Amino acid sequence: MEKTTFDVQGMTCGHCKMSVEGALKKLDGVSAAEVHLETGKVDVTFDESKVNVEVMKEAIEEQGYDVA
């Protein structure tokens, strides 16, 4: 398993947190996703043989947030 952290702009509330975590957890290969609203960071644990950083970034952006 690999871990990565995304810097995400625009997350401000519980709904933002649920949207981003939910979108990431739906991806095959993502085992954990945790949003930290106070820092704008998203920690993701994933299987690099099933999903890559670009796919996860797109999933976050599809929820309406910008990934730095």
| All structural domains of the chain | 2-67 (3.30.70.100)
pLDDT digits (tens, 9 = 90+) for 29-54: 999 999 999 999 999 999 999 999 99
CB atoms within 10 A of CB 51: 18
What pLDDT does residue 53 have?
97
Q: Is the pTM of this model over 0.75?
A: yes
Chain position carrying tokens 């949207």: 19
Q: Distance between CA atoms of 54 and 64, rounded to whole angstroms?
A: 16
What pLDDT does residue 38 have?
96
The pLDDT-based confidence of 19 (bands split at 50, 70, 90) is very high
Q: Distance between CA atoms of 44 and 5, rounded to whole angstroms?
A: 6
Chain position carrying tokens 């979108």: 23
Contact 36, 21 (CB under 8 A): no
